[in-house]
Amino acid sequence: MNGTMAASSHRVTLGPLVAAIDQGTSSTRFLVFNSKTAELLSHHQVELKQSFPKEGWVEEDPKEILQSVYECMERTCEKLTQLNIDISNIKAIGVTNQRETTLVWDKETGEPLYNAIGNAPWCLTAPCSAPWTPGSFG
């Protein structure tokens, strides 16, 4: 075996590594950092499609969102492997998400019942500008 082959099969031990799933309204990203230096070692990003079925509505396909997370994780790990970085050193994964997005799914099947309903600030204008009446809420 020549020196090049031996070097390319050797995994670099960095770590521990930490990762982040950043699932936002327009894209999904997966990033992996060296926890000791905060150096970004690899990442991958996938843009998401949004639909606007009516004025003031924003929707996204929940299966596309989930698939984008899988794709970002797979591609990032492939890149790390190409850099000979051992992905088993990923010790923690943080998650950020679309906190303003709502999704309803079937509790038996786990399948989404409809698209993810996203944040549209102009939808809240009328309710928020209406005068408050004591006793009008719960």
According to the model, what pLDDT value does residue 100 have?
A: 81
More reliable by pLDDT, 19 or 8: 19
According to the model, what pLDDT value does residue 54 have?
A: 84
Name the burial class of residue 90, with classes exposed (0-12), middle (13-18) and buried (19+) by CB atoms within 10 angstroms of its CB.
Answer: buried
Model confidence over 15-49: pLDDT tens digits?
A: 799 999 999 989 999 999 999 999 999 999 999 99
More reliable by pLDDT, 35 or 135: 35
Parse the chain into domains and list their residue ranges: 15-127
Task: Give the residue carrying structure tokens 């949004």.
Answer: 50
Predicted TM-score of the model (pTM): 0.75
CATH placement of domain 15-127: 3.30.420.40
Instruction: Read off the pLDDT band of 3 (50, 70, 90).
Output: very low
Of 68, 61, 80, nearest to 11 by C-alpha is 80
The mean pLDDT value of the chain amounts to: 85
Element (DSSP H or E) covering residue 19: strand 17-23
Task: Give the residue carrying structure tokens 């998401």.
Answer: 48
